[in-house]
Amino acid sequence: MEAEGGKSDSRPVVPSADARDPAYFQYYAQFVHQQNMLQDTVRTSAYNAAIVGNGPTMFKDKLVMDIGAGSGILSYFACQAGAQKVYAVEASDMSKKIQKLVDNASRRNPWLKDRIEVVADKIENCNLAKVDTLISEPIGVLLVHERMIESYLVARDRFLKPGGAMIPSNGNIYLAPFTDANLWTQTMAKVRFWEQSNFYGVDFSPLAQDARDEVFGQPVVGCFDSRILLAQPVSHFVDFMTITIAELQNIVIPFTWKVPFTALIHGIAGWFDINLGGMILNTGPYAERTHWQQVRFLLKEPLAVNAFETVKGWMRLTVNMSRSYDIVAEIVTGDETPTSDPADITAEGAGDERATPVGYGKRRGAWALHEQTYVYGADLDYSKVRPEFLAMYTPENAAPPEINMDIGMGIGGIPGLVDMDLTAADLDALVGRS
């Protein structure tokens, strides 16, 4: 794979996630976690509509494979859509629950009888027949967390017939800068505890920097209002039909944003969508809430940006042994300041700005995607919020405070500013001021 700038970025040793498998499969063997996913109405309804809706072309009289079947719900949908047979591949003990349902099909779900074969193993260990259609829900936070997509690609390469179908077939990762002084302050308050020099007579201050590295290295998972976004998101397309496992294990996402506010960038927000047979399941901050929510990557030090200034940089995701990814990002303001080559920046170096000083107009951050912390709910009623309440200031001769990130429809129908190359006159026109 070539990184940005044309440098070859070879990774001779790919971290194995096998050591985390026992805990991973034990987690998904529990009813409470399967129920959490089943009760995500947006997720479950979207998959149901996609599978049943594509029944005539992708499922009727077809051989189907469900990778990471979990509760078996997608396998059951495939049978409803007319599948001849479904291989329900599930490595956790939830496979026993699928089998129990199948064994009782004659009395409880007669339409399932003799149509599902439960395979209690990892797909990497299986030896099965070629199938016409693959179905799976291999998605985690920011699309790629848990590294389940790799197993989905193994199934594609080994078991999908030429010309076969995949649900999902592709997805997009979205990144946008955000401002949230409240979240940043709450996070910094955790660090301040370790700055105490006399906690029952103990000086904790030598640990303060380590605490800051750890706390700000934890991605914040939770829903947020789209009005904290400072620019139109960039997208990174992931085609499950063609991407290789090696390409999936080392991802570089370049970005360029133009911010129409004078503001502080507190970090990078992320979310994703997936294509379910022509139906798009979106997990963005403007869409109906899902159990995936969204994720925010806080900077240790916010970055100031002037109105209409260009912000550029990159985010790099590399797989780790925790069924997840180590993430490094660099953000630069202004057209003159160059960005670094992401292949030259390690997670350790990026996370310690003392070792790699980045200077004025540039910030770096490092996060472990699996070390997530959670924020539930919002402290503000955003329906009454104006940009200046969030420290987002528009130029004096530009738009009135009523402008927000919900104006218009952006790329791919994403709510946001219509055109991020906006002038003051453009902003006036958007809000109807002559």
**What SS3 state is found at 40?**
coil
Tokens of 413: 């129908």
Cα-Cα end-to-end distance for the chain? 51
Q: Is the pLDDT of residue 118 over 80?
A: yes
Task: Write down the mean pLDDT value for the chain.
Answer: 87
Q: Is the pLDDT of residue 2 over 80?
A: no
Q: Is the pLDDT of residue 62 over 90?
A: yes
For helices 31-38 and 41-53, angle between their N-to-C axes, nearest 10 degrees: 70
Q: Is 270 exposed, middle or buried (0-12, 13-18, 19+ CB in 10 A)?
A: buried
Q: What value does the mean pLDDT take over residues 194-202?
A: 97
pLDDT tens figures, 138-151: 999 999 999 999 99
Q: Is the pLDDT of residue 51 over 60?
A: yes
Q: What value does the mean pLDDT take over residues 86-108?
A: 96
Rounded Cα gap, residues 427 and 290, in angstroms: 32
φ, ψ for residue 381 (rounded to 5)? -85, 100
pLDDT tens figures, 271-320: 999 999 999 999 999 999 999 999 999 999 999 999 999 999 999 999 99
More confident residue, 81 or 412: 81
The pLDDT value recorded for residue 431 is: 34
Placement of tokens 């599948």 in the chain:
83
The pLDDT value recorded for residue 6 is: 41
Mean pLDDT: which of 158-172, 376-390, 393-407, 411-425 is highest? Answer: 158-172
The pLDDT value recorded for residue 344 is: 87
Rounded Cα gap, residues 152 and 242, in angstroms: 12
Q: Is the pLDDT of residue 417 over 70?
A: no
* Nearest Cα to Cα of residue 18 among 124, 115, 105, 126: 124
pLDDT tens figures, 215-273: 999 999 999 999 999 999 999 999 999 999 999 999 999 999 999 999 999 999 999 99
H or E, element range at 151: helix 148-159
Any idea of the CA torsion for 362, 368, 372, 373, to the nearest 10 degrees?
-50
- Asked whether 217 and 371 are in contact (CB, 8 A), the reply is yes
Rounded Cα gap, residues 234 and 96, in angstroms: 42
Report the percentage of the chain scoring pLDDT > 90: 76
The pLDDT value recorded for residue 400 is: 41
Based on its alpha-carbon atoms, the radius of gyration of the chain, rounded to whole angstroms, reads 24
Rounded Cα gap, residues 105 and 271, in angstroms: 38
The pLDDT value recorded for residue 346 is: 72
Q: Is 163 exposed, middle or buried (0-12, 13-18, 19+ CB in 10 A)?
A: exposed
Q: Is the pLDDT of residue 26 over 90?
A: yes
The pLDDT value recorded for residue 155 is: 98
The pLDDT value recorded for residue 411 is: 30
Q: Is the pLDDT of residue 135 over 60?
A: yes
Rounded Cα gap, residues 43 and 40, in angstroms: 5
Q: What value does the mean pLDDT take over residues 60-74?
A: 98
Residues 6+ apart with CB under 8 A from 239: 169, 170
The pLDDT value recorded for residue 55 is: 97
Q: What value does the mean pLDDT take over residues 78-105?
A: 97
The letter for the amino acid at 377 is: G
Q: What value does the mean pLDDT take over residues 78-99?
A: 97
CATH topology assigned to domain 18-169: Rossmann fold (3.40.50)
* Nearest Cα to Cα of residue 422 among 412, 407, 182, 248: 407
Tokens of 67: 């990778």
- State how far Cα 220 lies from the chain centre: 12
pLDDT tens figures, 366-396: 999 999 999 875 555 666 677 887 888 888 7
Q: In angstroms, what CA-CA distances link 246 with 1, 10, 34, 235, 366?
A: 8, 10, 30, 20, 22
Q: Are strands 116-119 and 85-89 parallel, antiparallel or unpaired?
A: parallel
Q: Is the pLDDT of residue 422 over 80?
A: no
Tokens of 218: 């934890």
CATH number of 172-430: 2.70.160.11
pLDDT tens figures, 325-379: 999 999 999 887 889 999 888 766 564 544 444 567 999 999 999 999 998 755 5
- Asked whether 387 and 403 are in contact (CB, 8 A), the reply is yes
- Asked whether 87 and 64 are in contact (CB, 8 A), the reply is yes
Report the 10 Å Cβ neighbour count for 376. 8
* Nearest Cα to Cα of residue 4 among 347, 314, 236, 235: 314
Domain residue limits, the chain:
18-169, 172-430
- Asked whether 230 and 259 are in contact (CB, 8 A), the reply is yes
The pLDDT value recorded for residue 432 is: 38
The pLDDT value recorded for residue 250 is: 96
Helices then strands (H, E): number in the chain?
Answer: 12, 16
Report the 10 Å Cβ neighbour count for 144. 24
